[in-house]
Structure 1
Amino acid sequence: MARWQPDARERLQQAALELFAEQGFAATTVPAITARAGLTTRTFFRHFADKREVLFAGEAELPAYAERLIAEAPAGTSPLAVILAGLRAVAEARFEGRKDTIRQWRAIVATDAGLRERELQKRAALAAAVRDGFHARGLDPTRAALLAETSTTLMHVSVTAWLETDDRRLADIIETTLATLRATLDA
């Protein structure tokens, strides 16, 4: 085994996803992951605090990214335009081209109560960042909170629909889902 391997993190993630899918999250151990990846346990812990982190690595980046997108939107841009631009950017940067991996990730998370709770915490952190971003743009707390919760729900519902299709881009589904929401609210 080579002393330093530049793709160790990716190999660990791939091995973990395979094992989680094959034998379940709870039954998979860190030594099993490292054996599958051909790496050491020590290498695993250089990249991840525990096996949950394999699934949620990088989650802290998304709220900061959302706040930055909101802050950088031109002055006078409507909140809805800010949300749509942000969701399109997230769709392109984090989702497109990864549909099979995201399907696999969602299936794994669905099997474990602790993982589902962690996913809800991730969504709550994102909503808080969006709320804070809109509040910093001068929106009152109630409007900022409504926009934050609506945008995170819009993304979640859109991703679910996207995972059930084979040919549509996530950005297009986001726009369709928003149109459905608007029609529902106007009905």
Structure 2
Amino acid sequence: MNFYIHTFNKFYPISVLQIAKVKKIKNQKLNISTNKLDIKLTGQGSFTKNFIYLNNKITYINRLQIDNNKRTIESRRMRCIWIKQNMYTLLALSRSLWNITDNKTNRLGTISLFPIGIYIVNKGLNIYRTTHELYYGYCKKIELPLSYINTKILCGRKSTLYYKTLQYITIQEFIIEI
């Protein structure tokens, strides 16, 4: 299962863990992990706010693309955003697929330049997230410009956001773990 995380960046998964196939253990005590990667991958909150909190540095958002696919019956919009610390330090890529109900909006509201999580928190929406897959792998195109900082792995997750029990946004988030 190889796929592109962005236009020319092919992701080569070493391992893909499908959450639905994992047995759920009920009534287990919550173990607080200090591993930053665990928090980034399994956190239920805003992906960007987790980065700001864990890295204790200002992060910048670089919007790569917003494409609208008008060929399908139900219009969808793809949005890709890099989260980075400065011009040369890339931290993560978040790719989202929005179901659009009219030309500019979906049922959650207007697509903005804000990260999705921060947008939802600011609007006060009650959102439920289901994580479907966790990824572990590499991407040659991303590792080449970052080779001077010894990039080791590229992890990610695929989630769906629900609002009032209806599916609205599918998100793939990829984390460059340094």
Q: Tell me if both proteins adopt one fold, taking TM over 0.5 as the criterion.
A: no
Question: TM-score of the superposition, structure 2-length normalised?
Answer: 0.22
- Could you tell me the TM-score, scaled by structure 1's length? 0.21
Computing the radius of gyration from Cα coordinates, the structure with the larger value is: 1
Which structure has the higher relative contact order (CA within 8 Å, separation 6+)? 2
Q: Which has the higher strand share?
A: 2
